[in-house]
Structure 1
Amino acid sequence: MTSSISAWIWSEKFWLPENVSWANVEHPPPGAEYPRPRHILYALPLAVGVLLIRQLFERLVAKPCAHILQIQAGVPRRAQPNAVLERLYQSKTCPDTRQLEELSKRLDWDERKIQRWFRVRRTQDRPSMEKKFCESMWRFSFYLVIFIYAICHLWVSPWMWDTRQCWHNYPLQPLSPGQYNYYFAELAFYWSLMLSQFTDIKRKDFVIMLVHHLATIFLITFSYGNNMLRVGTLVMCVHDASDIFLEAAKLANYAKYQRLCDGLFVVFSISFFLTRLVIFPFWIIYSVMFESWEIVGPYRAWWVLNGFLLVLQTLHIIWFYLIARIAIKAIFKGKVAKDDRSDVESSSDEDVSSSNGKISSQTPKLNDRRRTSALNGETQHH
């Protein structure tokens, strides 16, 4: 039973092109090494290591930088203790009209007082600017370092300049140390993002990001197990490029360098468009769909890979629509206005935080307690 299931999972008809067998892949030439599916298991302990490195980085590097830039953690105003309201808050942070009426009768409180309690309680849970700064600085540092590493590796790789090289002699292509290091650094990082997404600042595009992380992890894992490392390194490098500018824009925003923030966000928008809506579909996806068809020929795993690449491209189009709206406001109004992907809690407050999506260096007005909110990442990543 077990052997039949294993044979079904590792079917040569699914994973490999015609005239290639597992025997060919398992016995590389002397001095060469092919990717092994069991290597993927190394990514999970590496992801835990990445999380530990992140904690040290935020504590020893990001927080001191935040203090130098005078970005304070802040102590939010605390809501008056109330067991009844707290129980409802744990299940619903914004009560509807019917619930407000019931609470008003039960507690003998005015409805506006109850609404005010929920606003203060939401503000109490809102992450500080220092926490946002530390998260963004970690992602900025990783994207910058890994992008530089990728460029150094790919610059001397023939498939960067001729994508048809990605498919010559496929899948019997040797694994280089640079490919191995790059792949597992990215895979461990995205597993760490997947795990930390439930504890980091929650955004309105949480579900989209969850789908994005799952698709990215699947694609990295799938392409490694199927030895599509050449095209895989191109995909990851193209995605890292624009994320650097997004995280840099967020850092400038938290430090209240508004002009720098606006400029970096416009640069991010342009780089996002060029890398994810031009280079990615017309260079990389074209190679996977057409050049590989011509050189290798389609097979079942080939269809799966193209399907997930198209899922990523669909997400890119959705994100660029949101990004373009913000960039246009930055160009014509002189500041990055409301971010359609900013924090969930800032979008749920009616009176206080209806203006929290404003990213501005101006002094907040006391009467409506306006606070600047963050540009959302992500993208990370990929």
Structure 2
Amino acid sequence: MSYSKLNQKWLVAKPCAHILQIEAGVPRRAQPNAVLERLYQSKMCPDTRQLEGLSKQLDWDVRKIQRWFRIRRNQDRPSMQQKFCESMWRFTFYLVTFLYSISHLWVSLSPEQYNHYVAELAFYWSLMFSQFIDIKRKDFIIMLVHHLATIILITFSYANNMLRAGTLVMCVHDASDIFLEAAKLANYAKYQRLCDGLFVVFSISFFFTRLVIFPFWIVYSVLFESWEIAGPYQAWWLFNGLLLVLQTLHIIWFYLITRIAIKAIFKGKVSKDDRSDIESSSDEENHSNFNKSTLKPKDFNHSSGLNGETHDH
């Protein structure tokens, strides 16, 4: 999986980025400072007390220290070209696995279904582990829950011979994510109208696959029809519980997607993701105000925001 990702990224995605004139860019580098760098390695966003202590220790203004940390964080963030390559890799994966799974959906216990399961399982394991080494985002916990639930569902559906249900679950997820990654690619390439159109298609497909097909066909069949056929057993409770967890996440995400769509209608384009990779000076000011108060962050944004890195579902 990692080898094929590397090949696709460097042999296909990067040349495409060059054709579309998406450059890697050179981020502004923070002024070398051993004291600040040592703290940055343990805490990327120091609180008010630490900022005041650093100000006295270095004889720097607090705003200058905040600016140093902002530049240092941006220095570690992926470039637009890197994000384009990652989105192209995910777009390719979702498209290929969706078409592959559809073509072998009606055959049970086939080698092709085993290959599909292995590919999806490896993909979600890679997503889960990459969360811990990538830039930590506001929706870290909810994405971690999603990846864990998906990994357990894939494993248990195969172990309990529920391949048809497991394949359908993966299909309805991959179907809408194809359009999400395509919209991200259009956004990185600065094709705004195409981006907006693909986001609309993504929103519609998300609604029908995850709020109609998933609950009323798949979950209903596994929850009620399987009860009548085989009755409840230990794995049945776990499997259905995880399906309901995913459905809860779908509802939360669709609410966030709707917010973005409403902003797009009134502002004329898809709004920027709250989890955007690059911080501005206004972000710094907001972070400073947040540290001085005891308010919690307002809300996270799902990966449907197009400037964020992400992931997946």
Correspondence for 1:54: 5
Aligned to 2:42: 91
Contact kept? 2:67, 2:284, Cα under 8 Å = no
Equivalent positions of 1:69-108 (< 5 A) are: 69-108=20-59
Please give the residue correspondences for 1:307-318 in structure 2 after superposition, counting only pairs within 5 Å.
307-318=241-252
Structure 1: give runs of 5+ residues left out of the alignment: 1-49, 159-173, 356-371
Structure 1 contact 339–376 (Cα < 8 Å) conserved: no
Query: What is the rounded CA distance, in whole Å, between the counterparts of 2:226 and 2:196 in structure 1?
Result: 41
1:266 corresponds to: 200
1:282-361 to structure 2, matched below 5 A, reads: 282-340=216-274, 342-343=275-276, 346=278, 351=282
Shift of 1:373: 6.8
Indicate if the aligned counterparts of 2:95 and 2:178 stay in contact, CA closer than 8 A. yes
| Alpha-carbon distance change, 74 to 241 in structure 1, aligned in 2, over 3 angstroms | same
Encode CA deviations 1:27-85: one digit per residue, 9 max, x unaligned.
xxxxxxxxxxxxxxxxxxxxxxx012111211111111111111111111111111111
User: Deviation at 1:93?
Assistant: 2.3
Provide the residue aligned with 1:23 in structure 2: none
Q: Are the counterparts in 1 of residues 264 and 271 from structure 2 also a CA contact under 8 Å?
A: yes
CA apart distance, 1:333: 1.5
The answer to whether the aligner puts 1:148 opposite 2:148 as a matched pair is: no
2:168 is the alignment partner of 1:238: no
Secondary structure of the residue aligned to 2:23 is coil
Please, what is the CA RMSD of the aligned residues? 2.1
Deviations 1:341-371 (A, max 9, x none): x24x546x6525789xxxxxxxxxxxxxxxx
| 1:213 paired residue number | 147
Residues 352 and 259 from structure 1, CA distance in 2 versus in 1: closer, same or farther, beyond 3 angstroms? same
Q: Which amino acid aligns with 1:205?
A: D
2:159 aligns with 225
Secondary structure of the corresponding residue to residue 217 of structure 2: helix
Amino acid at match of 1:147: F
Deviation at 1:276, TM superposition (A): 0.5
For 1:351, what is the secondary structure of its paired residue?
A: helix
Instruction: Quickly say closer, same or farther: Cα 1:114–1:151, change in 2 above 3 A.
Output: same
CA-CA distance at 1:197 after TM superposition? 3.0
Q: Secondary structure at the match of 2:282?
A: coil
One-letter amino acid of the counterpart of residue 301, structure 1 = A
**Contact persistence 2:9–2:89 (CA under 8 A):** yes
Q: Aligned letter for 2:13?
A: A
Look up the SS of the partner of 1:75 in the other structure.
coil
- C-alpha contact (below 8 Å) 1:246/1:377 kept by paired residues: no
Larger of the two Rg values belongs to structure: 1
Stretch of structure 1 that moved more, 320-329 or 106-115: 106-115
Q: Displacement of 1:330 after TM fit?
A: 1.4
CA deviation profile, 1:317-358 (whole Å, cap 9, x unmatched): 111111111111112221111324x24x546x6525789xxx
CA 1:116–1:377 in 2, change beyond 3 Å: closer, same or farther?
closer
1:114 aligns with 2:114: no
Q: Which runs of 4+ in 1 moved over 6 A?
A: none
Q: In the alignment, which residue of structure 2 is the partner of 1:374?
A: 307
Q: Which deviates more from structure 2 when the two are superposed, residues 254-263 or residues 101-110?
A: 101-110
Aligned to 1:138, the other structure's residue is in SS state helix
The secondary structure found in structure 2 opposite 1:72 is coil
- Quote how far apart the aligned CAs of 1:125 are: 1.4
- Cα-to-partner distance string for 1:238-297 (whole Å, 9 max, x where unaligned): 111000000001001100111111111111111111100111001100000111111222
Q: Which one-letter code corresponds to 2:282 in the other structure?
A: D
How far apart, CA to CA, are the structure 1 residues paired with 2:114 and 2:202? 29
CA distance in 1, matches of 2:30, 2:193: 36
Structure 1 position 194, deviation (Å): 2.4
Pair 1:193–1:94, CA change in 2 (3 A): closer
Query: In the alignment, which of 174, 177, 181 is matched to residue 247 of structure 1?
Result: 181
SS at match of 1:146: helix
Matching of residue 129 in structure 1 with residue 53 in structure 2 = no
- Tell me the residue number matched to 1:193: 127
8 Å contact 2:67–2:281 — kept in the other structure?
Answer: no
Alignment partner of 1:112: what SS? helix
For structure 2, the residue ranges without an aligned partner over 5 or more in a row are 287-304
Asked if 2 retains the 8 angstrom alpha-carbon contact of 1:277 and 1:316, the reply is yes
- The alpha carbon displacement at 1:234 in A equals 1.0
SS at the partner of 1:285?
Answer: helix
Corresponding position of 2:299: none
In the alignment, the residues of structure 2 paired with residue 65 and residue 195 of structure 1 have an alpha-carbon distance, to the nearest angstrom, of 27
